[in-house]
Amino acid sequence: MRIAILTDIHANREAFQSVLTDLSDRGIDRYALLGDIVGYGPDPEWCVDRAMELVAAGAWCIKGNHDSAIANPAESLNITARRIVNWTRPILSDEQREFLDRLPLTKQLDDILFVHASANDPADWNYVSSETRAIGSFEVSKARLIFCGHCHVPTLFSEDLGGRIKQQRIPPGMAIPLIRTRRWLAVIGSVGQPRDGEPQAAYAILDTDTNELTFRRIAYDVSATVSKIRRLGLPESLAIRLNTGA
């Protein structure tokens, strides 16, 4: 089975559409959306609609902290993120808000675990941004493969038979064999707001038959999203971030 893993779409219609178009002829059997469909971006309705369609067609969708903050204003967020969530909330329909609120925090499939942030206390939204911060996920879960988002930076960790956790280099666009002598934790980069210095939308494809994971990047019309952000008067820092991918 080939699973397309997308995360942190962040209401970026152009990026989301580019990724979906790119995936349309890649023989994908299943979509996994790891949360944060809304927040930061100018097109929350369109993005939630697409997510709902995908779920209706069999996709798995996990809740992210921005999705959670729509129904739960007490959710801890930085000032910019809170401002956008407050702007997003009234735009969404009741049906859309309910969809986001009902999303699960994790999805387990055989030996694979999908989660938005660190797998230990998923609702605490901890960042998996270093070898040390990856320990929690490996400890709490028995899954052989763990996939998460939240960091917006594609990262790959492995835990060897001796329990040592190492960050691994990611060769972009190349299939990485997730060898069975190790457990793996992959932080999939963000579709709608990359932060690793590359503005292209990030996602990944897992092939469970060949046991290989491929991190991919795809260009989208950044300037279109940026002008929408400016036209709507959303914070300029969000526009700059999309341009630089930083």
Partner 1 sequence: MHRPRPGLEIDGFTLGECLHKGGFATIWDVNHPDHTHPLIMKVPTLLDGYDAPTIVGFEVEQMIMPRLSGPHVPRLIAIGDFSEMPYIVTERISGPSLLTLFSTAPRPVSEAVEIAARMAEAVHELHKQHVIHLDLKPANFLQRENGKMVCIDFGLSRHDHLPDLLDEEFTIPMGTFPYIAPEQFLRQRGDLRSDIFALGAILYELLTGKLPFGQPEKLTAVRKRLWRDPVPPRGLDRTIPEWMQEIVLRALEVDPKDRYQSAAQMMFDLQHPRQVRLTARAQRTARDGAMVVFRRWRVMRKVRGFASPPSTGAQISKAPVLMVAVDLAPDMEALGQHLLLSTKQMLVIQPDARVACVNVIKTARMGIDQTTDDNGEHLHVSRLLALRDWAASLQLPEDRLTFTVLEGPDPGQAIIDYVQKNHVDHVMMGARSHSATRRYLGSVSSHVVAEAPCSVSVIRLPQHGVVAEPEIAPSEDQRQEG
Residues that bind partner 1 (CB under 8 A): 156, 158, 160-162, 166, 168-171, 174, 176-177, 179-182
Q: Return the number of the residue (19 or 170) whose C-beta is nearest partner 1.
A: 170
C-alpha torsion sign, points 230, 232, 233, 236: negative
- From 239, 246, 203, 201, select the one nearest 220 (Cα to Cα): 201
3-state SS class at 95: helix
- From 20, 72, 8, select the one nearest 218 (Cα to Cα): 20
Q: Return the number of the residue (7 or 158) whose C-beta is nearest partner 1.
A: 158
C-alpha torsion sign, points 169, 174, 176, 177: negative
Minimum CB separation of residue 226 from partner 1 in Å reads 31
Q: Return the number of the residue (170 or 226) whose C-beta is nearest partner 1.
A: 170
Minimum CB separation of residue 175 from partner 1 in Å reads 8
Report which secondary-structure segment, H or E, holds 65: helix 65-71
Minimum CB separation of residue 147 from partner 1 in Å reads 16
Q: Return the number of the residue (129 or 211) whose C-beta is nearest partner 1.
A: 211
Return the residue matching tokens 């969530």: 85
Structure tokens at 236: 């300029």
Q: Return the number of the residue (73 or 163) whose C-beta is nearest partner 1.
A: 163
